[in-house]
Amino acid sequence: MIMRMVSSKISHILVLFVLFSQLFIYGCKESDRSTIAMGLNTSPVNLDPRYATDAISYRVSRLIYKSLIDFDEKYHVIPQLAVWQKLSPTHYRFILGEKYREFHDGSKLSSEDVKATYDSVLNSNNVSPHRGSIAMIKSIEIVDFDTIDFKLSYPDPLFPGRCVIGILPKKFIYKKHDFSREPIGSGPIKILYWENDENLKLKRISDNKIIELITLKDPIVRVLKLLKGDIDLIQGNLPPEVITWLGKKQYLNVEKKIGNTFTYIGFNLEDPIVGNILIRNAIAHAIDRESIIKYVMSSSARKAGSLLPPEHWASNSNLSGFKYNPKKSKKFLKDAGYDGLTPLKLIYKTSNDPFRLRLATIIQKQLESIGIEIEIRSYDWGTFYGDIKEGRFQMYSLSWVGLKMPDIFYYIFHSDSVPPYGANRGRFKDAKVDEILDLVRSETSLNKQAIYYKNLQEYLMRSLPYIPLWYEDNVLISKSNIKGYKLSTDGNFDSLIYIQND
C-alpha cells in the first residue's frame, strides 16, 4: 500500500518536474545577433594599463585604450596614436595623428593626456610595475596640443617600442578614477558592465555590437558552452585532443596561427649537477620535441631555438634547437661521470596546470630512457613562482608570453639581473654574455643591435642556460557564422574590433 501511495506521489512529482523544467526551457534566452560572446579561461585582473601585468588584462586593455605605438608582425615598432621623430639619441618627439583621438567620455585626447599618463607611471608613489621599463625618461614636455617631447637620461634606440602604455584622460587621472574596474580610453571598444569578474560586457563603438567576455575556467565547460551556442568563440587554452575533436564538427571553424609563446626548460646553474654543461646537453638531446609536438600537442607548436621567434627582426632564424639523439645524450652523461652505475636523480618543478603536468611526465619518461630519474613536483602558481624566483629548483619548465623587445635578453641572462633585479632565475653568470649585453645597450643602431643579438643567441645555445622547446600556436575555435577573425602571433583579441556574426 505504501508503495502504491508513494509511486503515485513520485509520478506527480515527476510530472511537476517536467512541467517546471519546460517553464525554464521557454524562459531561456534566444541567441542574440547583437552580441558576440567569447569564452576566456581566466578573467582580466586589472584594466588600468598602468598596472595590468597579466596577458588577459593586456589583451582586453588593447581594445579599450590606445598607446602611442604598436608592433607589426615582425615586431617592428609602428605608429598607433602618434608618429615619432628621433631629434637626438636622447630626444624623441611624438606627434599625435587623427585616429583614436576621442575618449569614451567624449573629450579629445591631447598631448596633455599623454604626459599625465606617463607622469603617473613614473610617479614612484603610484608603484606601477611598468615604471622600470620607462625609467630612462628624464622629462616630458608638451610642445602643443598634438606634440610631445620625451627627453631621456641616456640614449635608448628601443625607446619608441617602450611607449606601449594605454593613454588615459588627464582629468580622470587627477580625480583618481578607478580605471582598473571602470576603464575610460580612446579605443574602438568601451566598457559597458563588469560587476562580476566572470562576465565583462563591452560595446563596439562603430556599430554598437556587444562583445561579451565570459570566464569559464573549466576547458570542457567552455567547449560545451560553445557547442550549445552560448558562446561564439574560444581562443586557445584548450587541450590539443579537444581541438582535434572540435575540428571535425561541421558547424565549427578551427584555425591555427603560429604564436610567440616560448616554452623552455630552465636550470639552476648554481646547482652542482645541472650546473654542469654536460648534464644540460644530455638532457637537451634526450627530449624528443618532434614527437611531443606531433602526438601530444597535435602539431600546434613549432620547434624553438631561441627566446625570440624566427620572424623577429633580432632573432637568429638559423637556430631551431637540439636534435633528438639519445646516443649523444648517453655519451654526455658518461663524460659527466654518470655511466649507468651511478644513478642521476633530478627534481623537475612545474605548475599544477594539467597540460604542463602531462608534458612534464612525458619529458620524465624520455629522460628515464637515458638513465636520468626525474621527480616531478607540481605546485600552485604562487608557490611555484616563489620557488623559481628564490632559486629553489634544479630544473623547471615555464613559458614567456608576448615577448617583443629584444632587450629581454639583458633581463633574463645578464648577471646583474638575478632576482629581485631581473628574471635571471637560473643565476646564469657568463662574462661573455654580460659583455655582449653591455655592448648592445650602448649601440645606437638597431641593425647593429640585431647582429649582436643574433650572435648572442648562438652563444646561448652553446652555454645552454635554457633548453628552448617550442613556440605554441594560437588556436581559434568559432561558430561558422563568425566572420573576419584573424589570429595574431601574440594572441591579442584585436579582431573583436571588426568581426561579425552573420
In the complex, the residues that contact another protein under the rule CB under 8 A are: 1-2, 5-6, 10, 21, 24-25, 27-29, 45-46, 53, 124-125, 127-133, 135, 178, 180-181, 196-199, 214-218, 220-221, 224-225, 227-228, 230, 380-383, 385-387, 389-390, 392, 411, 419-423
Residue 10 CB, nearest distance to another protein (Å)?
8
Q: How many C-beta atoms surround the C-beta of residue 251 within 10 A?
A: 9
**For residue 101, which amino acid is it?**
R
Q: Phi, psi (5° rounding) for residue 361?
A: -70, -30
Distance in angstroms (rounded) separating the CA atoms of residues 487 and 485:
6
CB closer to another protein out of 324 and 400: 400
CB closer to another protein out of 131 and 171: 131
Residue 131 CB, nearest distance to another protein (Å)?
6
**Residue-wise burial string across 427-444, b where 16 or more C-beta atoms lie within 10 A, e elsewhere:** bbbbeebbebbeebbebe
Distance in angstroms (rounded) separating the CA atoms of residues 309 and 420:
27
CB closer to another protein out of 227 and 497: 227
Residue 350 CB, nearest distance to another protein (Å)?
15
**For residue 345, which amino acid is it?**
K
Return the C-alpha cell found at 324.
Answer: 633528438
CB closer to another protein out of 146 and 387: 387
Residue 336 CB, nearest distance to another protein (Å)?
30
User: Under a CB-based contact definition with an 8 Å cutoff, are residues 120 and 128 in contact?
Assistant: yes
Residue 76 CB, nearest distance to another protein (Å)?
22
Residue 221 CB, nearest distance to another protein (Å)?
5
CB closer to another protein out of 10 and 78: 10
Residue 217 CB, nearest distance to another protein (Å)?
5
User: Under a CB-based contact definition with an 8 Å cutoff, are residues 267 and 278 in contact?
Assistant: no
| Cell 652563444, residue located | 459
CB closer to another protein out of 104 and 225: 225
User: Under a CB-based contact definition with an 8 Å cutoff, are residues 240 and 300 in contact?
Assistant: yes
Distance in angstroms (rounded) separating the CA atoms of residues 173 and 120:
8
* Residue 373 region by backbone torsions, left for phi larger than 0, else alpha for psi between -120 and 50, else beta: beta
Q: Phi, psi (5° rounding) for residue 248?
A: -85, -10
CB closer to another protein out of 314 and 398: 398
